[in-house]
Amino acid sequence: MMMRKIYGGLLAGVALMGAGVVQAQTIAPAPMVTATPSPTLDNGVLTGTVSDDSAWQSLGIAIPSFATNADVPTAASAGSTAQLGRAIAEVITGDLKNNGLFKPTGPNSLPPIPIIQVLTPDFPTWSTRSAEMLVHGSVSAASNGNLVVGCYLYDVSLRQQLVKATWEMAPGDWRRAAHKCADTIYSRLSGESPFFDSRIAYIAETGPKDHRMKRLAIMDSDGANHRFITTGQAMALTPRFSPDYRKIVYLSYLNGRPRIYVYDVESASQKMIAEPGSPAFAPRWSPDGKWILYSMAQAGNTNIYRVSSQGGISQKLTETPGINVGGSYSPDGSKIIFESDRGGSQQIYVMNADGSGQRRVSFFGGRAATPEWSPRGDQIAFTHIGGNLRIAVMGVDGSGMRYLTDAWQDEAPTWAPNGRIIQFFRTEKGTGKTSIWQVDLTGRNERRLPTPVDGSDPSWGPIRQ
Amino acid sequence: MMPSMLNTRLLSAGLMATVGALALSACASKPPKQLPPEPGPPVTNTMPAPAPVMPSGPTPGSQADFLASTGGRDTIHFALDKYDIDQVSADILRVQAGWLLKYPGKKATIEGHADERGTRDYNLALGERRANAAKAFLVSLGVDASRLTTVSYGKERPVDVASTEEAWAKNRRAVTVTID
């Protein structure tokens, strides 16, 4: 059963888009978005129900090109305001299409609309197109060179506006407006938290299996704005975006020694987080960005350490013979879930953030590795090893384990910011080719994320502010 | 049912012991690997060779000499998810230690590897554990620990790229590389 809240009522005093939009939430200076999802609706709440997920999949959403009050050139890569209007609608369509909840129809299959219809849709026409939901939007160039993008969601049969939002941003951030709009629609219709306006760090792989080149790379949640960070001369593994997206912590074999580095995205510089004198790997951020966990091998044993992200003295959190590795903080930062083979084989354990209170969580057959705490706090995603490697989830107490994928080798889950989708990487038997995939919590909706070359070790960052 | 089950288990235990003994004796009686004729280091420089032409064979104390002296046995192998040194590996490490003790000025790096059937982070730790096991064995034979460093490549550098039991067995390894 899924509850679907319907906010009723039309907005009073809606300003027309264009220069001087009253409600514009400024996204300037780039790249910080200050848009808030605060409801601008002030009327009461109606509720209805949708029986299950399958009903959602039939929810048709029409997304024609966003209209513009004046087609003028912009500094955005997509072109003029009219071209941007089409491109933004395409990005929204792509976002909504890929999560299995909706059936969006994009601007390539729909007639453009005149700007006057953005606030007063032609409902009779749209109802004949079997569109239940309608997205309209506007793009205009502000006098300061920024773009202003309006985003409106309508219920066609109710003939009501469900939500609206407006953002102002630097032209280079135009895709973010599209993702914010898609997030607004997704949140409004599903009741879930947003996740499209987020980024992914991963390892780009090329070359033969016995000598793969592994480079640090970053991209938006839909694969756009892709960028290689390292050249590949030193092997890079297991990157993680800092919660504010300003830094990336990862493992590099620079100078032939595996060590943890923190790369600063803005200054394009990096520093070793600690020179432990021993191999260090599997770095992770705390949710507040103040701590970095890493694993260090000494005399054959591997233990988990914590160090301030500013550097300094490391604190040893585990101290058992064997391999203690990885670690993922609970959303409130109070606990760490990690893997250890102290009991004889890889299993999942939990401890307090200071290392106290260590206890085993997983007790099922096979091995369990790479636990990742859901941003919602209620689930652990992990890699289950029983011959094949598969992505699975379980409760925080180890109960209710279930598989989400079934391939030869799927590993290293990472959560979408809203805890509804899990990303992981898949290795092909024989060739060793890798690719990045997403799966929702039902396990039914699985898709490959397009990357320019093979990809592994994806790490999904939080929703951008 | 119980007696026959018991018998079966006893029988299989006996078989195991026999197989193990056979394997051990097979290993023990294995003749030392025939050394291939050493081609010597490739000569790529155009400079005339120094006056006293060296007899064929690698420079004493070099990595090439290490490989020649050990019969190319620079690698030991491990069972699935294991890091213990078995008899075959111990014999190889003894040969390696002999060379290292002969050239006390030489350093070496031991590279630990895992097969592809584990998760990335764990395999990095496992490779390190295997390299360290080899190092500890060499140290127990008298090699100064400060001469030996370890590095793990986890599952990132397979020597056999196939996804078969045979390839995985080859890839679970620790390789001693001397530093020229």
A106-128, pLDDT tens digit by residue? 999 999 999 999 999 999 999 99
Burial level of A233, CB count in 10 A (0-12/13-18/19+)?
exposed
Q: How many CB atoms lie within 10 A of CB A227?
A: 10
Are A137 and A254 contained in the same domain? no
Are A203 and A161 contained in the same domain? no
Q: With contacts defined as CB-CB under 8 Å, which chain A residues touch B122?
A: 323, 325, 339, 341, 346, 369
Return the structure tokens found at A157. Answer: 């049969």
Tell me the residue range of the domain where A175 lies.
2-190
CB contact, 8 Å: B140 with chain A?
Answer: no
Q: What ipTM was reported for this prediction?
A: 0.86
Residues ≥6 apart with Cβ < 8 Å to B129:
A297, A300, A301, A302, A323, B83, B112
pLDDT tens column, B122-132 = 999 999 999 99
pLDDT given at position A87 = 98
Arithmetic mean of pLDDT, B135-164: 97
CB contact, 8 Å: A427 with chain B?
Answer: yes
Please say which residue of A190, A213, A230 terminates a domain: A190
* DSSP 8-state assignment for residue A159: T
Please say which residue of A190, A215, A242 terminates a domain: A190
Q: With contacts defined as CB-CB under 8 Å, which chain A residues touch B117?
A: 385, 389, 409
| DSSP per residue, A333-389 | SSEEEEEE-TTSS-EEEEEETTS-S-EE---SSSEEEEEEE-TTSSEEEEEEEESEE
Please say which residue of A168, A190, A212 terminates a domain: A190
Q: With contacts defined as CB-CB under 8 Å, which chain B residues touch A295?
A: 121, 125
Which CATH number fits the domain that encloses residue A276? Answer: 2.120.10.30
Q: Which residues of chain A have pLDDT under 50?
A: 1-24, 26-55
Arithmetic mean of pLDDT, B14-43: 42
* Statement: residue B18 has pLDDT above 70: no
* Number of residues assigned to chain A: 465
Arithmetic mean of pLDDT, B45-71: 76
Among residues A385, A375, A379, which one has the least CA distance to residue A361? A379
pLDDT given at position A314 = 94
Are A229 and A343 contained in the same domain? yes
pLDDT given at position A7 = 34
Among residues B169, B123, B116, which one has the least CA distance to residue A369? B123
Name A373's bridge partners.
A380
pLDDT given at position A465 = 86
pLDDT given at position A44 = 34
Are A245 and A172 contained in the same domain? no
Q: Which residue has the tokens 């200050």?
A: A34
CA–CA separation, B83 and B112 (whole Å): 10
Distance from CA of B157 to the nearest CA of A (A): 5
- Domain B58-180, what fold? 60s Ribosomal Protein L30; Chain: A; (3.30.1330)
Q: Minimum mean pLDDT among A14-18, A296-300, B78-82, B153-157: which range? A: A14-18
Report whether A338 contacts A325 (CB < 8 A): yes
pLDDT given at position B53 = 54
Residue A465 belongs to a domain: no
Are A252 and A287 contained in the same domain? yes
Are A143 and A262 contained in the same domain? no
Are A16 and A146 contained in the same domain? yes
**Residue of A325, A370, A384, A424 to mutate, interface with B, max B Cβ within 10 Å:** A325
Name A161's bridge partners.
A154
B52 pLDDT band, cuts 50/70/90, is: low
Which CATH number fits the domain that encloses residue A141? Answer: 3.40.50.10070
Report whether A171 contacts A147 (CB < 8 A): yes
* Statement: residue B92 has pLDDT above 90: yes
Q: Which residue has the tokens 């949710």?
A: A287
CB contact, 8 Å: A430 with chain B?
Answer: yes
Are A236 and A350 contained in the same domain? yes
Burial level of B60, CB count in 10 A (0-12/13-18/19+)?
exposed
Q: How far is CA A274 from the centre of its chain?
A: 28
B16 pLDDT band, cuts 50/70/90, is: very low
Contact B136 A300 (CB under 8 A): yes
pLDDT given at position B54 = 57
CA–CA separation, A220 and A223 (whole Å): 5
**What predicted TM-score, i.e. pTM, was given to this entire model?**
0.82
Among residues A76, A198, A95, which one has the least CA distance to residue A140? A76
Distance from CA of A393 to the nearest CA of B (A): 16
Report whether A414 contacts A422 (CB < 8 A): yes
Question: Which among A210, A237, A300 has CB closest to B158?
Answer: A210
Return the structure tokens found at A4. Answer: 């679907």
Are A175 and A286 contained in the same domain? no
Are A176 and A252 contained in the same domain? no
- Domain positions in chain B: 58-180
Number of domains in chain A: 2
A362-391: buried (b, 16+ CB within 10 Å) or exposed (e) per residue? Answer: beeebbbbbbbbbbeeebbbbbbbeeebbb
pLDDT given at position A35 = 37
Pairing of strands A227-228, B173-179: unpaired
Amino acid letter for position A429: K
Are A170 and A273 contained in the same domain? no
Helix (H, G, I), strand (E, B) or coil at A188: helix
Contact B152 A256 (CB under 8 A): no
**CA triple A149-A155-A157, angle to 5 deg:** 150
Burial level of A37, CB count in 10 A (0-12/13-18/19+)?
middle
Report whether A176 contacts A169 (CB < 8 A): yes
Report whether A4 contacts A189 (CB < 8 A): yes
Question: Which among A214, A295, A429 has CB closest to B125?
Answer: A295
Return the structure tokens found at A240. Answer: 């993680």
Are A262 and A181 contained in the same domain? no
CA–CA separation, A53 and A315 (whole Å): 46
Contact B120 A409 (CB under 8 A): no
Question: Which among B116, B122, B132 has CB closest to A339?
Answer: B122
* Statement: residue B94 has pLDDT above 70: yes
